[in-house]
Chains A and B, each alone.
Chain A
Amino acid sequence: MTKNKIFWGTVAPLAAILSSLVFVYIILSLRGVDPIEMFKLMVSYGFDPRNLVSEVNQTVAYYMAGVAAAIGFKMLLFNIGIDGQYRMGAFFGAVVGAAVSLPPVLHVLLIIITSMLAGGLWAAIAGYLKVKRGVSEVISNIMLNFIAAAIIAFLLGEKLLGILPEGSQNVQTRPIPASGQMPTIKIFEGEVYSFLFVAIFVGIAYWVMLNKTVFGFNLKATGLSFRAARSSGVNAPGMIFITTVLSGAIAGLVGMGTLLSDTHSYSMAFPSGFAFTGLSLALLGRNHPVGIFFAAFLWSFLERSAPVLEFEGVPPEIVIVMQGTIVLSIVIAYEVVARINLRQQQRAVGKVNVEALSEKESK
């Protein structure tokens, strides 16, 4: 049974990636270019050491979003609010980090905790609405994403928390002093964020929490069956609320690598769209910490190697289409596999029943 599970768990994502490759192959052929040549170009460009470094950094951010989404998925929560939670986290982390002066390690720690708090509290709104008011977290989070963006755009105004550095068009928060910055690791003429290690730690903590603690057991139980968990004494609504907050807290870490090791301030140039990326990665990686890592790397690889297509007259946005089709293929694959499994189980049960029946008759 477990062997079967692992088999399908790896085959389904690979099949999804393959089928979207076929899809892109067809689109590229229609464009009149040689698809294989394009794929080769992307691979050689994407595995160029300097690009590899920026891919790793991007992977770290995506990984946090993926883990945040996976925590939600374990509870059957669809945390589409990762975008707003990440913004809140990065913004307030930057503001608090710039406002205080502390010894080096403590300073960084304070920023990280602030970000987790900001992300968690923002997610708590959706959690509260879900548990107390029965509002679907999908709807409330979509609204909260836009509201978060508006609040931050407002607070970034020059009269409030933002400054306009000389020669720049982008308003940003005050820079975080050196004590609140994280070092980078220099490899291949590039700089890898040391936040990478925090991400690895979060991945391990996520796995331990889920598989080795009572809390994780309760979480999974509530996700599998709200009623069963509740009647066996788990505070199921409470679990939903806490899980939402936890997911938001991790989402608050998405922008940390960039903030602590690169820009040292928050600006409107911080990218958006992490919510759907996070959810896609959790789906593709089957909520497993290692799976999510591979998915996150695939995503950043695709994005960083796409610009090379521009020189061949292919708009690089083809990669976005490819990501979308990967996600669709993967959920379709899971759905099909689930149905096959169900049928197999039904058949097995039916077989046992028939045998039992025939035994009875022969007696």
Chain B
Amino acid sequence: MATKLKSLFKSPARIAIFVAGLFLIISLVESLTGATDISSPGTSGATLRFAIPLLMAGLGGLWAERAGVINIGLEGMMIVGTWTGAWFGYLHGPLMGFVAAAIFGLASGFFHAILTVKIGIDQAVSGLAINLIAAGGARYLSGIFFPPVGGDRTVSPPADSFPTFTIPGIAPFLESIDAKNIFFISNLAGVLHGLTKDISLVTVAFLLLVPITSWILWRSKFGLRMRFSGENPMAAESLGINVYRIRYIAVSVSGMFASLGGAYLALVASSVYREGQTAGRGFIGLATVIFGNWRPGGVFAGSILFGFTDALRVRQNESVMSLIVVGGIVAFVLALFYSISRRWKPAAISAVIALVTFWIHQSIDAIPQEFVTAFPYFATLIVLTYLAQRLTPPAMAGMPYRRGSE
């Protein structure tokens, strides 16, 4: 199944066909069940808003791991971003909030780099300690700086919201099509409408970091050195690359990205810092790195998927139920596809999955919220279990490296 799927995803054209097919099924289900929330502009807008923090954490994880350092401190660095973003955003406006988050995030990443690269302590210990110190430190500082709201100091005063814009011409046009209820086309317009209205400039800027990261990693000299440091630091050093310096830069950038993702949570997705706001998103970011096979595009896809489940969590339950139908139909189509190509084993597995999915849909009336929450972790674990051989992580990520050692 994996081989087939891989060949299916080989060219962009095929991905486009696959996405279109998936979307056709979604439209079909929506017109049959009458649940219209999956392709509503609200859902696609929320997906994007929820995906951006995950994307930033994921890109942060990607930068660090490509250079050979695992960053488990992403969660803590996101907390740094939410706190500094919200506080400086409240004092000096949202732009300064982002600037402050970038600076403090850079510092927290640099701290992780000092500990793991220079001193050489265990990367997991360092990351976890940063998570702890950031969480405790944020609560300590909230207790001192935030004016109490009804005796409660866990929420920052609100910052001004960042200006948003709606693409003129296109967004209203899409809205009008969405309203016409034409099969497939209106659904597509609904999704696109959500992506073109009320978008923040920050969202666009952060999305641009995906191609930029991609370009740096595969087209620039620095990116080549960075990947080299992650794959084989000894060989890199012997060719005159300063592995320490590369790692310092990469891990600092990693902290900055994660922190900016946190600031996005505090300044764009909401307007305040709230304790526990990151809610494990740093770890989901870590998961998107694995899910995306250590590639910027993959991290992007992973964060959209996980952002989508995150968005569904806060929306209507019936859309989750219709998504299950979508999953069942996809499994059914796969079963047909495999039977045609006479691959009976995957065909049987897909058929069973399809049957089970339909059975679940018939027998229960709501998917427990908890499972929707845990979906990213579960999906990553499945990927690790069944596709571990196909993943290509940087060979030396997580391994301590001392200059001059073997």
CB of B25 within 8 Å of the partner chain: no
Binary flags per residue of A247-276, CB closer than 8 Å to B gives 1, else 0: 000000000000000000000000000001
In the complex the two chains form, what is the Cα distance from A134 to B393 in whole Å?
12
CB of B373 within 8 Å of the partner chain: yes
Within 8 A of B (CB), among A310-338: 315, 317-321, 323-325, 327-328, 331-332, 335-336
The dominant DSSP class at the B interface is helix
Within 8 A of B (CB), among A17-76: 31
Interface pair A146/B286, CB less than 8 Å apart: no
Report A276 CB to chain B, min CB distance, Å: 5
User: CB-nearest residue of chain A relative to B137?
Assistant: A321
Report B298 CB to chain A, min CB distance, Å: 16
Interface pair B135/A320, CB less than 8 Å apart: yes
In the complex the two chains form, what is the Cα distance from A331 to B124 in whole Å?
11
CB of B20 within 8 Å of the partner chain: no
User: CB-nearest residue of chain B relative to A157?
Assistant: B368
CB of B207 within 8 Å of the partner chain: no
Interface pair A335/B121, CB less than 8 Å apart: yes
CB of B51 within 8 Å of the partner chain: no
CB of A246 within 8 Å of the partner chain: no
Interface pair B133/A321, CB less than 8 Å apart: yes
In the complex the two chains form, what is the Cα distance from A318 to B140 in whole Å?
6
Name the contact of A154 in the complex, choosing from B122, B370, B385 (C-beta under 8 A): B370
Stretch in contact with the other chain, from A135-143, A193-201, A235-243, A349-357: A135-143
In the complex the two chains form, what is the Cα distance from A153 to B372 in whole Å?
12
In the complex the two chains form, what is the Cα distance from A138 to B388 in whole Å?
15
Q: CB-CB < 8 A to B119: which residues of A?
A: 332, 335-336
Report A302 CB to chain B, min CB distance, Å: 11
Interface pair B370/A144, CB less than 8 Å apart: no
Name the contact of A317 in the complex, choosing from B70, B72, B139, B283 (C-beta under 8 A): B139
User: CB-nearest residue of chain A relative to B280?
Assistant: A146
CB of B201 within 8 Å of the partner chain: no
The dominant DSSP class at the A interface is helix
CB of B44 within 8 Å of the partner chain: no
Interface pair B385/A133, CB less than 8 Å apart: yes
CB of B19 within 8 Å of the partner chain: no
Name the contact of B129 in the complex, choosing from A150, A324, A336 (C-beta under 8 A): A324
User: CB-nearest residue of chain A relative to B75?
Assistant: A142
CB of B136 within 8 Å of the partner chain: yes
Interface pair B371/A315, CB less than 8 Å apart: no
Interface pair A279/B120, CB less than 8 Å apart: no
Interface pair A332/B115, CB less than 8 Å apart: yes
Interface pair A325/B133, CB less than 8 Å apart: yes
Which interface residue of A134, A321, A325 has the most chain B CB atoms within 10 A?
Answer: A321
Name the contact of B120 in the complex, choosing from A138, A139, A142, A335 (C-beta under 8 A): A335
User: CB-nearest residue of chain B relative to A336?
Assistant: B119
Q: A315-B140, A317-B143, A319-B136 are in contact. Are A136 and B385 (CB under 8 A)?
A: no
Q: CB-CB < 8 A to A129: which residues of B?
A: 381, 384-385, 388
Interface pair B286/A328, CB less than 8 Å apart: no
CB of A80 within 8 Å of the partner chain: yes
Chosen A-B contacts, 14 in total, with CB atoms closer than 8 Å, are: A78-B124, A80-B128, A133-B388, A134-B388, A139-B286, A143-B378, A147-B374, A151-B374, A157-B368, A319-B136, A320-B139, A331-B122, A332-B119, A335-B121
- Known contacts A328-B129, A335-B119, then 9 further A-B pairs from the complex at CB < 8 Å, ordered by chain A residue: A139-B384, A147-B381, A276-B128, A317-B137, A321-B133, A323-B136, A324-B130, A335-B121, A336-B119
Q: Which residues of A contact B (CB under 8 A)?
A: 31, 78, 80, 129, 133-136, 138-140, 142-144, 146-147, 149-151, 153-154, 157, 276, 279, 283, 315, 317-321, 323-325, 327-328, 331-332, 335-336
Q: Which residues of B contact A (CB under 8 A)?
A: 70, 72, 115, 119-122, 124-126, 128-133, 135-137, 139-140, 142-144, 153, 280, 283, 286-287, 290, 368, 370-371, 373-374, 377-378, 380-381, 384-385, 388, 398
A-B interface, 10 closest residue pairs, ranked by CB to CB distance from nearest: A320-B136, A315-B143, A150-B374, A324-B133, A317-B139, A324-B132, A150-B370, A143-B377, A331-B121, A321-B136
